[in-house]
Structure 1
Amino acid sequence: MSHETRLVILCLLSEKERSVGDIESILSMPQAAVSQQLARLRFDRLVKTRREGRTVYYSLASEEVTSLIGTLYELFCAPVRGAPDAPR
């Protein structure tokens, strides 16, 4: 997970399953670049696929991956408590 784009993709997939086209639109990246990152995540067994017609949907591979991404989000992405604009 050393590549920032792969981490962002994992965060997106923690919300819900998404197609390559969905991820491409959200990240404003070429389809080939998104597919390359997803292939690496599949190789690392962090994501799984589901085909519906011609569309391939990606989701997190397991509850362990979901838990890991949730923990990373809480540590590095969630608003810092006590910050001036943090929710109370």
Structure 2
Amino acid sequence: MKEIETCTCSIIHDDIVQKVIPSILNDDKASDLASFFKVFSDPTRIKILSALFISEMCVCDLAASLNMTHSAISHQLRTFKAAKLVKSRKEGKVVYYSLADTHIQQIFHQGYEHICED
């Protein structure tokens, strides 16, 4: 791992600081955004999302695809629903889950491209 270069002086560039301050997120927005990204921090949830990119699926299909229990899948889907990342629709006795919107896939793919860079 490369060592990070650090500044050895204590000069404050006031013009830059004053330009940046208005753009810094307030505490509420920063907390909301951090919570949003925490949803992506679990490998199981990443796998579920990648499956939902292909097709809407019910809990049984997700569990079979990922070799997991229904309970484990349901727990993760509750997390996604709370974060408004997935939506559901009922057809008879079956509940199908899909991505809430295209932003989720875009965020996922940008992150994936970033980790694949040399």
What TM-score comes out, normalization by structure 2 length? Answer: 0.60
Q: Whose radius of gyration is greater, 1 or 2? A: 2
Match of 2:83 among 44, 69, 72: 44
Match of 1:66 among 105, 112, 118: 105
Would you say how many aligned residue pairs link Structure 1 and Structure 2?
79
Q: Distance in 2 between matches of 1:75 and 1:16?
A: 24
Q: Is 2:89 aligned against 1:53? A: no
Note the residue ranges of structure 1 that are not aligned, 5 or more in a row: 81-88
Q: Distance in 2 between matches of 1:5 and 1:25?
A: 14
SS at match of 1:22: helix
- Contact 1:14–1:69, Cα closer than 8 Å, also in 2: no
- Give the superposed CA RMSD: 1.8
Greater share of residues in helix: 2
Over 4 Å off, 4+ runs:
none
The residue type paired with residue 24 of structure 1 is A
Note the residue ranges of structure 2 that are not aligned, 5 or more in a row: 1-39
Q: Which has the higher contact order (CA 8 A, sep 6+)?
A: 1
Identity of aligned residues (%): 37
Q: Distance in 1 between matches of 2:110 and 2:62?
A: 22
What TM-score comes out, normalization by structure 1 length? Answer: 0.79
